[in-house]
Amino acid sequence: MSSALDGSSKGITFFQWLILGTLTLTSTLYAMSMTIANIALPQLQGALGATQDQIAWTVTFNIIGTAIVTPMTGWLTLRFGQRRLMLCAIFGFATSSILCGQANALPELVIYRVFQGAFGGPLVPLSQAIILGVFPRRLHSFATAVWGMGVVCGPIIGPTVGGYISEAYSWRWIFYIIAPFSLLAFLGAWFYVRNTTHNKLSKLDWTGFISLSIAVTALQLMLDRGNRLDWFDSKEILIEAAVAIICFYIFTAHILTSRNPYLNPWLLKDRNYLLGFVLVFIYGTLNFTPLVLYPSMLQDLRGYPESIIGLLLAARGFGAFMGNFLVLIISKRDPRIGLALGFIAQASSCWLLANFDINMTTAGVAWASAIQGFGVGLSWVPLTIVMFSNIDPKFVPEGTAVLHLLRNIGSSIYISLTITIVIRSTSINYSDLAHFINPFNEILLFGREMGSPNSNMFFDLSNLSGEIERQSAMIGYINAFYFLAITGFLALPLIFFVKSFTRGKES
C-alpha cells in the first residue's frame, strides 16, 4: 500500500501539499468538536446544574446548527467565494468554541454550541470542494484519501484528548484547546487557499430555508422538552408541535411549486436515491446517539473517569478507521454488501450493549464501541454510492447537502428520544423495584446475616435507594440500546430493494 501511495503522490507540488495539510487540519478540528464535548457531559451536568435531558441540548442543538447551515454551503460559496467563506467559517468556529468555554449557564452554552455547529457546518464540504478543484483528476483519489484521514482521525483524537483534559483541568479546556489549532488552520487558509469567482447576485430560496429551519428547531425543542413538560398536556409543546407541522407544510408546498427550491424534491423519483434518503436518516440515528449515552452510563453507573471514557470512545474511532479500509475492497464488488454489513455491525453493537448488566467490563464496552465504529466506517461510502448511483452529476452537490442534513437530523432526534427513554424507564423501574423494600420481604427480616442492609438504619436505606436507582437507570440504558438496535435492523429489508449496479451504472 505504501508503494501505491508513493506512486499516487508523485507530481504534487509543495503548494498543493500545504493546501492539503491546511484542509486536513480544518476537517480534523471539526470532526473533533463533534465528539470531544460528549466526554464532559457528566461534568457539564454538575457544573451547570442541569439534568440529563437538559445537558443533551448541548449536543442536539450543535447538530441542528450544522444540519441547517450545511445545505447552504453551495450558495455561500457562490455568494462569497471559497477563500472568504473558509476564513469566515474558521474564525466563527474558533470564536464560538472559546465562548463555549466561557459559558456560565446552560442557555449560554447551548447558544454558543449552535453557532459552533453553524460555522463548522460548511468546513467539511467546502474543504472537499477545494481539494477537488486544486488537484488534477488523476490525484483526486489520493488527495481525498489523505484528507479523509482527518475526518476519520478526529473522532479518535477528540475523545482521547478531551477525556484527559477535562479530568486534569476542567470541561472548559475541551473548548479552549480548539482555538490554537484553529489559528493555524486560519493562517493556512489565509496564505494558501485561493478565492474563486463569486456572484453577489446569486439567490437563495429564503422561503424554503427559513421554513425548514423553524420546523426543525421547533421539532427539536418539542422532543427535548416534551418529557419534562409532560408532552401534550403542556401548551408549550402543543405550540411547538403546531409550528413544526405548519412550517414543514410550508416547506413541502414551496419546494414542490418553486422553480429553484432550497432542496430539489424531484430527485426522490429515483428509487436508489429514495432508499438512500431513508437509509441515511437511519444511519444518522445510529451515528452519534451512542456517543451521548456512553459517558453518562459509564460515569454515573460505574464511576469511570473521563480519561478512560475517552479511550473507550476512541475505540469507536479505531473501528471506523478499519471499516474505511475494508469498504474499499467490498464496494468494488457490490456496495450493497458493505451497506448491509455496516448496518448489521451497528445494530449488533447496540444489541450487545443492551445485553450488558450493571457489572459491564471495560473490555466489553470497548469491543462494542469498536464494532459500532466499524459499522459506521463500513456503511458510509456504500451509502453515498447507492444514493448517487443514478443521479445526474449536476445534482450531486445538492444531493450531498441533503445527505448531511438527514444524517444530522436523524442524530439529533434520536438523541432526544433515547434520553427520554432512559429517564422514563429509570423512573418507572425505580417505582417498581422499590415495592420490594417492605417489612414482608423475608430477606430484609434477616438483615446483615444475609448481606442485605438494615432497614432500621437511615444510612443503609439511603444506600439501598441509591442502588435501586442505579439498577433502574441501567434498565433504562438497556431499553435505549434495544431501541437503537431494532432501528438498525429495520434498515436491512430496505437494502434488498436497491437496484443492482456496477461502477455507478445500473446493470
Report pLDDT for 504: 41
Number of compact structural domains in the chain = 3
C-alpha 405/C-alpha 399 separation (Å) is 10
Query: Minimal CA–CA distance to 218: which of 249, 197, 194?
Result: 249
Query: Minimal CA–CA distance to 409: which of 218, 208, 268, 241?
Result: 218
* DSSP classification of residue 502: E
In a domain? residue 137: yes
- What would the pLDDT profile of 408-456 be if each residue is shown by its tens digit? 888 888 888 898 898 888 888 878 877 766 666 666 655 554 455 554 5
Query: Minimal CA–CA distance to 36: which of 162, 157, 153, 170?
Result: 162
* DSSP classification of residue 446: T
Same-domain check for residues 47 and 183: yes
Same-domain check for residues 66 and 145: yes
213, 242, 261 — which closes off a domain?
261
Phi, psi of 502 (to 5 degrees): -130, 125
C-alpha 323/C-alpha 326 separation (Å) is 5
Specify the CATH number for the domain of residue 459: 1.20.1250.20
User: Please, are residues 70 and 408 in contact by the beta-carbon 8 Å criterion?
Assistant: yes
C-alpha 290/C-alpha 478 separation (Å) is 12
Same-domain check for residues 162 and 231: no
Same-domain check for residues 134 and 185: yes
46 to 52, 116, 160: CA distances (angstroms): 10, 22, 21
Same-domain check for residues 430 and 505: yes
Position 120: which residue type?
Answer: G
Same-domain check for residues 280 and 414: yes
In a domain? residue 1: no
Give 367's contacts (C-beta < 8 A, 6+ positions apart).
315, 352
Same-domain check for residues 399 and 466: yes
329 to 143, 332, 333, 373, 382: CA distances (angstroms): 19, 6, 8, 18, 11
- Bridge partners (DSSP) of residue 370 are none
Report pLDDT for 198: 62
Give 238's contacts (C-beta < 8 A, 6+ positions apart).
232
In a domain? residue 444: yes
183, 198, 213 — which closes off a domain?
198
In a domain? residue 382: yes
List average pLDDT for each run of 10 residues in the chain, which is 507 residues long: 48 77 84 78 82 82 84 80 87 92 89 90 81 73 69 71 79 86 88 71 78 87 82 87 92 85 78 86 86 84 82 82 76 77 91 88 87 85 78 71 80 87 86 71 57 51 77 90 92 84 45
Same-domain check for residues 180 and 128: yes
In a domain? residue 267: yes
Residue found under cell 436505606: 461
In a domain? residue 275: yes
C-alpha 112/C-alpha 101 separation (Å) is 9
What would the grid cell of residue 315 be?
Answer: 475505540
What would the grid cell of residue 350 be?
Answer: 447496540
Structural domain harbouring 279:
263-507
Query: Minimal CA–CA distance to 387: which of 336, 332, 323?
Result: 336
Same-domain check for residues 91 and 182: yes
Give 290's contacts (C-beta < 8 A, 6+ positions apart).
316, 349, 350, 353, 369, 372, 481, 484
198, 220, 250 — which closes off a domain?
198
What would the grid cell of residue 506 be?
Answer: 445500473
Q: What angle do CA 3, 4, 5 make, to 5 degrees?
A: 90
What is the pTM for the complete model shown?
0.80
* DSSP classification of residue 198: -
SS3 367: helix
Q: What angle do CA 273, 279, 283 make, to 5 degrees?
A: 135
Q: Which helix (H) or strand (E) holds 505?
A: strand 505-506
Q: How many CB atoms lie within 10 A of CB 399?
A: 20
Same-domain check for residues 397 and 438: yes
Same-domain check for residues 257 and 389: no
User: Please, are residues 386 and 276 in contact by the beta-carbon 8 Å criterion?
Assistant: yes
Same-domain check for residues 251 and 268: no
In a domain? residue 172: yes
Report pLDDT for 11: 62
Report pLDDT for 10: 59
SS3 499: coil
- What would the pLDDT profile of 465-474 be if each residue is shown by its tens digit? 777 888 888 8
How many residues belong to the chain? Answer: 507
